Structure 1
Amino acid sequence: MSAELTALPFTESLQARLAQPAAKGLSLYWLGQAGFVIDAGGYRLVIDPYLSDSLAEKYRGRLYPHQRMMSAPVTTDGLGDVDLVLSTHQHTDHMDPQTLQPLLGSRPAVKLVAPRAAEEEALKRSGIGRDRLLLLDAGDRIEPLPGVSVTATRSAHETLERDAAGHYKFLGYVIEIGGVRLWHSGDTIPYDGMVAEVAALQPDIALLPVNGRSAELLANGVPGNLALAEAIDIAKAIGAKALVAHHFGMFDFNTVDPAEIDRAASQVAGPRLLRAALQTVYRWG
């Protein structure tokens, strides 16, 4: 029987859960928005954590005040023994100084993976030195830990934007860890060549945003993401066995009804569709 991804609710706090020894195989925990904890191969990776209220402070009194719809499920201390942190791009809900500085400041051996185009912002927001920064551009592959590889893919948020040096500003990461390949796309909409680029890396699990996009939001400076139907089609086209739908439920102006994801999960053929949820561990095996 081939492996599959299973969602298992738990009742204890996420901090208590993360304090326990990791289960055999791969386990995923959602942190809200695009943030995940990845436990596998004896390591703990954290990608795109947003555990503060910094955006509400930044946008107070503005058109979109960015008030959290959900509380942070854990503090940075509660993340436990972290081995690597990754940020897909420099938007604050993916590269948050109020999360990264305490997270990395209390763990001096941990490095941060970030886009080469965001080098200066990554240094400023994380508070770490250049020796702890691992920079990638699309197509680059690194092995930041023994037995762990990270390959960067392009993302379009809303376009395949590059900096003056030609480096892509928005990335996804295919992470191979514990014998499993996960693709976290970062923030993206579909673009020509996406399926071929990612399918060649053969991810087993796709972690994709599903909050969609609108002309109104874009006109007010809020770029969009995949809609749910697009995420399902892409996961199917790249050959993923499972899709975890995320990037919703954080800000009321830019979300999707979770019931829509649940309805699709009961109907979709192809990769198994799971909705990201708190107090839930996603296990591969």
Structure 2
Amino acid sequence: MHITHLGHACVLVDTGSARLLIDPGVMSDLDGVDSVDAVLLTHKHPDHVDPEKVRAVLATSPRAVLAAPADIGEAMSGLPEHRSAEPGRTLKFGDTVVDVVGGRHAPVHETIPSCANLGYLIDGGAFFHPGDSFHEPAVEVGVLAVAIDGPWLKIAESIDYVRRVAPRVAIPIHEGETLDPAKYVGMLSNAVGGGVVRRLERGSATRL
């Protein structure tokens, strides 16, 4: 498959039979992104979903499906009609199978309310996007998108997460709010092995 990192938590996954856009948020650059088969949203935070960008992509993709947690409409005015996804559900786009997993956003603090958070497991583990969580799939993972910065994590947790999941490749994401993402990528790479971590060039499709 080909994976394109479009900024922060947003990736475009092209399996050969489907083009899946995951988490187009306010820090995503979607110039040139069109003709997708699905837009998959992990949760309702603006860095993962920008209704205006979602509408723009769907305008170029009239048959695309928008899938999101059931509670996303409560926070996102202007979001187009969408299909509610929940853990345990399976979505199909052509020959591509997406298993919905997860449940809740990783905790930030006991005083800050949590929300639903979905993970999307593509083609039996070929690729996994956990959203803002450290959910561990029950299958082997080929390519894991791993967050490296945010108010809900520290880099030690990201390192331990990659070690537990043990993917073939870990691609760092969720770095849009840090001034020095290379530092966090370097710490992750040094801790889990440089052959596992691969930082994708933003906007360029990479075969993995």
Which structure 2 segments of 5+ residues have no match? Answer: none
Identity between Structure 1 and Structure 2 (%)? 25
The structural deviation recorded for 1:97 is: 1.2
User: Aligned to 1:145, which of 93, 96, 103?
Assistant: 93
Report the equivalent of 2:14.
39
Over the residues paired in the alignment, what is the CA RMSD in angstroms? Answer: 2.9
Structure 1 residues 228, 274: CA separation in 2 closer, same or farther (over 3 Å shift)? farther
Structure 1 residues 134, 181: CA separation in 2 closer, same or farther (over 3 Å shift)? farther
Contact 1:104 1:110 in 2 (8 A): yes
Report the equivalent of 1:84.
38
The structural deviation recorded for 1:134 is: 2.3
Within-5 A mapping of 1:3-22 = none
Report the equivalent of 2:201.
277
Establish whether residue 110 from structure 1 lines up as the match of residue 64 from structure 2. Answer: yes
Q: TM-score, with normalisation over the residues of structure 1?
A: 0.62
Contact 1:210 1:256 in 2 (8 A): no
Distance 1:135 1:160 in 2: 27
Q: TM-score, with normalisation over the residues of structure 2?
A: 0.82
The structural deviation recorded for 1:211 is: 0.5
The structural deviation recorded for 1:266 is: 4.7
Report the equivalent of 1:219.
none
Aligned residues: 204
Consecutive aligned runs of 4 or more in structure 1 exceeding 6 Å deviation: none
Report the equivalent of 1:258.
182
Distance 2:192 2:104 in 1: 25
Distance 1:199 1:170 in 2: 14
Residues 41-74 of structure 1 deviation map (CA, whole Å, 9 limit, x = unaligned): 3211100113x5xxxxxxxxxxxxxxx6xxx544
Residues 192-236 of structure 1 deviation map (CA, whole Å, 9 limit, x = unaligned): xx4xxx241332211011114xxxxxxxxxxx2333332222122
Establish whether residue 48 from structure 1 lines up as the match of residue 1 from structure 2. Answer: no
The structural deviation recorded for 1:107 is: 2.4
Report the equivalent of 1:185.
130
Contact 1:210 1:225 in 2 (8 A): no
Structure 1 residues 155, 185: CA separation in 2 closer, same or farther (over 3 Å shift)? farther
The structural deviation recorded for 1:95 is: 1.4
Indicate the structure (1 or 2) with the bigger Cα radius of gyration: 1
Report the equivalent of 1:55.
none
Report the equivalent of 2:162.
235
The structural deviation recorded for 1:255 is: 5.4
The structural deviation recorded for 1:125 is: 3.3
Residues 75-100 of structure 1 deviation map (CA, whole Å, 9 limit, x = unaligned): 2xx11321110111111121111201
Distance 2:116 2:195 in 1: 29
Q: Secondary structure at the match of 1:140?
A: coil
Which structure 1 segments of 5+ residues have no match? Answer: 1-25, 53-67, 162-167, 213-223
Distance 1:142 1:205 in 2: 19
Contact 1:117 1:169 in 2 (8 A): yes
Distance 2:29 2:116 in 1: 28
Report the equivalent of 2:141.
203
Distance 2:33 2:15 in 1: 15
Amino acid at match of 1:200: A
Amino acid at match of 2:118: L
Establish whether residue 244 from structure 1 lines up as the match of residue 182 from structure 2. Answer: no
Report the equivalent of 1:175.
122
Distance 2:61 2:49 in 1: 17
Distance 1:234 1:144 in 2: 28
Q: Secondary structure at the match of 2:202?
A: coil
The structural deviation recorded for 1:267 is: 5.4
